[in-house]
Amino acid sequence: MNLSIQLAPENKKGLKLANPVMTASGTFGYGTEYEHHFDIQKLGAIVCKGTTPEPREGNPQPRIVETTDGMLNSIGLQNIGVDALIIEKAPVWAGWQVPVIVNIAGSTIDDYALLAAKLDKVAGVAGLEVNISCPNVRAGGAEFGANPDAAAKVTGVVRKATSLPVIVKLTPNTGEIVRIAEAVTAAGADALCLINTLKGIAIDIKEHKALLGNGYGGLSGPGIKPVALYMVYEVAKSVDIPIIGCGGITTANDAIEFLMAGATAIEVGTASFKNPRAPMDVLEGIEKFLLQEKIQDIRELIGVAHH
Ligand SMILES: Cc1cc2nc3c(=O)[nH]c(=O)nc-3n(C[C@H](O)[C@H](O)[C@H](O)COP(=O)(O)O)c2cc1C
């Protein structure tokens, strides 16, 4: 049975994964946090916490609220910063079998260029995932990823600054995700990941104010799956680079739906908080499905819902 897939067919280095199961940024730390739960080396790839040029403390508490079918978070990109990541984390990853992809986030175009340049040629870093769901401080705080031109500009500077495979992670908080996917593809992305969290709020009815310290947050978990699946399905019709599906994936069946909608790989996010073994359970469930259905190669499933 073949489970391996290629996420960057046009890139010199390529990004070959032993299987399509990845972890979503911000839900799996730096990988090491989950090592005692299962053999993380068996995963397709690990995507680390969003990384910024400087260390960040994140947003004021409370930063997490449970919802009926998921959660709202406003972590605010708390992270150790790119320099500490290069010194402390990358050398550990360099000894791993599983590829690690660094998720990068900036407040300006220059931040993204700097992060990409610093991480280029760092042993242990197999690729970059560019989070463009961040406010552009030079454009009144509008998300880079909400506009095709800004999204393409970020992609272009990252592309120029690195020879690593570049995955651009799209935000669902826009009415034009297909146009943004096309713009980012034209600007040199090797692959796309969709989706990031949906903007949402919760209100404390006793205190008459927003529950999250930051006012609003990002919605994730099972409740967003149909939205994410629809976006993957629509984007798959108009771009031909690999797509990583993400959003509410909790079981192998969820993952298979994303593959059938046109995703080449998938990321497991919020599900890991409830069940730290979720990515492994998803992988084992996919293998079982392929055996049951007598499918020799996972790639036979990609996009079949379009036929
Ligand atoms: C607590 C938390 C932190 C997150 N941090 C990041 C991040 O740093 N960078 C990023 O691109 N996405 C981040 N995300 C978004 C997830 O990677 C994923 O796109 C989203 O949660 C949808 O998938 P899910 O429903 O499976 O969680 C975060 C999500 C959660 C719940």
pLDDT in tens, 289-301: 999 999 999 999 9
* Side chain identity at residue 136, one-letter code: N
Residue nearest atom 9 of ligand 1, based on CA coordinates: 50
| CA separation for the pair 190, 22 (Å, rounded) | 16
DSSP H helix total and E strand total for the chain: 9, 16
Residues in the chain, overall count: 307
Computed over every residue of the chain, the mean pLDDT equals: 97
- Which of 196, 244, 249, 268 best tests ligand 1's pocket when mutated (most atoms within 8 Å of CB)? 196
27 alpha carbon to ligand 1 midpoint, in Å?
6
**CA-proximal residue: ligand 1, atom 18 (nearest):** 196
Ligand 1 atom with least separation from CA of 248: 25
Question: Which of these, 260, 244, 246, lies nearest to 293 by C-alpha position?
Answer: 260
Query: How confident is the model over 179-205, as a mean pLDDT?
Result: 98
Question: Whole-angstrom Cα distance, residue 243 to residue 179?
Answer: 15
Task: Tell me which H or E stretch contains 199.
Answer: strand 198-200
* Residue nearest ligand 1's atom 15 by CA: 196
Ligand 1 binding pocket, CB closer than 6 Å: 24-27, 49-50, 73, 75, 77, 103, 131, 169, 196-197, 220-221, 224, 246-249, 269-271
Q: How far is the CA of 291 from the centre of ligand 1 (A)?
A: 31
CA of 113 to the centre of ligand 1 (A): 22
C-alpha 271 to ligand 1 mean position (Å): 11
Q: Rounded distance, CA 80 to CA 63, Å?
A: 18
Whose alpha carbon is nearest atom 10 of ligand 1?
25
Q: Please give the structure tokens belonging to residue 217.
A: 């947050």
* Cβ–Cβ under 8 Å, residues 192 and 181: yes
Mean pLDDT value across residues 247-251: 98
- Euclidean distance between CA atoms 155 and 171, whole angstroms: 14
Cα–Cα distance, 153 to 142 (Å, whole number): 14
pLDDT digits (tens, 9 = 90+) for 31-83: 999 999 999 999 999 999 999 999 999 999 999 999 999 999 999 999 999 99
pLDDT tens, 125-179? 999 999 999 888 888 888 899 999 999 999 999 999 999 999 999 999 999 999 9
Q: What share of the chain is helix, strand, coil (3-state, %, to 5)?
A: 35, 20, 45
Q: What is the number of the ligand 1 atom nearest to the C-alpha of 270?
A: 27
- Whether the per-residue pLDDT at 256 is higher than 90: the answer is yes
Q: How far apart are CA 97 and CA 8, in angstroms?
A: 18
Nearest-angstrom CA–CA distance, 133 and 196:
7
Q: Is 134 part of the annotated catalytic residue set?
A: yes
